[in-house]
Amino acid sequence: MSGATRTDGDRRCRAAVLGSPIGHSLSPVLHRAAYGELGLHDWSYDRFEIDEAALPGFIGKLGPEWAGLSLTMPLKRAVIPLLDEITATAASVEAVNTVVCTEDGRRVGDNTDIPGIVAALRERGIEQVESAAILGAGATASSALAALARVCTGEVVAYVRSEARAAEMRQWGERLDIEVRTAHWSEAEQALRAPLVIATTPAGATDTLAPSVPERPATLFDVLYDPWPTDLAARWSAYGGAVVSGLDLLVHQAVLQVEQMTGLAPAPVDVMRLAGEKSLAARQDGR
């Protein structure tokens, strides 16, 4: 997909993150850090509290100064009918977290969460695993499953709380052409022995699993980043296991967004990560 490359004659370029709630979003910190490093001093990146009902009106009013949007819950599926096109990656999980406004006025949806997960794993030297486990079955779990379809050569076991969620995960497996077996959440301790564990659950959901971390854990990818570390991630690190955080995911998916919206690559991943770390540290100090 082509990025929204702008000419020197453009007065300014706009981008923003939309969602509800949105006040906690680190996206403005990451994108603004990238703009500063790339010399895009006339670019702006804002946040807007937008729910599903307000989304069509917001999209409809986007002017030529807009380069793109980042989307968080609950908008990742609601935005699809409002777009001119979505990429195959976004279509694979029916979720869009990135909208690029092209030079010819089209609005193209993409999903950078999936390649963001893959990039975060590769940054830690994980190119391929023989099997994996997913904790949870929400929207993030489907993106995690799509990422595993690229790096996992064997079975993925999803630990869920209901049969309805289990059926959804099996259906996603069939759609993504990856072998998925489901197990009840009560058996989630078994997940911790997998070569790669991806925790996609809300804050606090995996706390009771922390005492069950094995003595030699492999790799944990915990999609949370605030508060950090989670009890599970802290125990995992204490036992010498590799931990990939939600901030790693947030940074890598934002890197791809910056590249698509600005047309400039590579985006400054280290600068963006440092900005995110400083912002999170400031939040924690303020508590």
8: confidence class by pLDDT, cuts 50, 70, 90 = very low
pLDDT at position 227: 87
pLDDT at 9 over 90: no
pLDDT confidence bin for 192, thresholds 50/70/90: very high
pLDDT tens, position by position, 46-103 = 999 999 999 999 999 999 999 999 999 999 999 999 999 999 999 999 999 999 999 9
Q: Which of 76, 107, 165, 235 is labelled catalytic?
A: 76
What is the per-residue pLDDT for 287?
60
Residue 76 designated active-site: yes
Q: What is the pLDDT of residue 12?
A: 55
Would you say residue 258 has pLDDT above 60? yes
- What is the reported pLDDT for 138? 84
Q: Does the pLDDT value for residue 6 go beyond 60?
A: no
Give the per-residue pLDDT at 284.
Answer: 82
Please give the pLDDT value at position 7: 43
- Cα 58 to Cα 119: distance, rounded to the nearest angstrom: 31
Taking residues 238-259, report their average pLDDT: 97
